[in-house]
Amino acid sequence: MGLFTELKDSISRVTDRLFSEQEPKRIGIYGPPNAGKTTLANRIARDWTGDAIGAESHIPHETRRARRKEGVEIERNGKSVTIDIVDTPGVTTKVDYEEFTDEMEEDDAIRRSREATEGVAEAMHWLREDVDGVIYVLDSAEDPITQVNTMLIGIIESRDLPVLIFANKIDLDDSSVKRIEDAFPQHKTVPLSAKEGENMDEVYENIAEYFG
């Protein structure tokens, strides 16, 4: 009888461990084009896995398809979370091929604008259906009060998703974190420079706490 009880307890402990392990949280990285979303995604992925997610560029809409890095475990101050990073295309209300013609031939610019438009639709699908939380990246040197930002933050709030706002590019002279804090006071704003790696400790502390 003792052997049976020990076996039963052992099976119970294994079962409890299996069911207590949570699935990774799908965290979408959102924001307007050229806010530094992929730079941030790459910074996080490299810091915790050694691998990058996608190409970075100064040309808008370099990311035109959502890219995913699975099983990124982040630990800070005794808290940890395992996330799947979803690096989404920049969302905008209009993609005009002419904004690319200074950098590439017209045919390539038209193709890029078409792919970027499709990318916006894909990003919106992920937001409405497939993410558990959002990191919203803004260029702190730009005015945050835009139609796109207001719309996306509204959708995130309507889905009751946890969201962190990251005020990126604090290395720029025109950076103003307060401008972003004032625009969206209902959400936590974390300053950083994904390019330079500034303030990444606070970034990881907030990710582990907010999404864990």
Q: Which helix (H) or strand (E) holds 46?
A: helix 37-49
- 53-72 in b/e form (b: 16+ CB < 10 A) is bbebeeebbbbbebbebeeb
Give the residue extent of every domain in the chain.
Answer: 2-211
Contact predicate 67/101, CB 8 Å: no
Residue type present at position 154: G
Q: Is the pLDDT of residue 212 over 90?
A: no
Percent of the chain with pLDDT over 90: 53
CATH of segment(s) 2-211: 3.40.50.300
Task: Quote the tokens at residue 3.
Answer: 């052997």
Task: Quote the tokens at residue 202.
Answer: 């606070």
Task: Quote the tokens at residue 95.
Answer: 């993609």
**Mind listing the pLDDT tens digit for each residue in 113-149?**
666 556 666 666 666 677 899 999 999 999 999 998 9
Helix axes 147-158, 106-129, angle to 10 degrees: 30
Mean model confidence pLDDT for the chain: 81
Model confidence band, residue 209 (pLDDT cutoffs 50, 70, 90): very high
**Which whole number is the average pLDDT over 35-60?**
82
Could you give the dihedral angle defined by the CA atoms of residues 59, 85, 175 and 151, in that order, rounded to the nearest 10 degrees? 80
More confident position, 82 or 92: 82
Match 């103003």 to its residue by tokens. Answer: 176
Distance (Å, rounded) from C-alpha 83 to C-alpha 51?
15
- N- to C-terminal Cα separation, the chain: 41
Q: Quote the strand ranges of the chain, DSSP E.
A: 25-30, 67-76, 79-87, 133-139, 163-168, 189-191
* Coarse DSSP helix, strand, coil percentages of the chain, rounded to the nearest 5 percent: 45, 20, 35
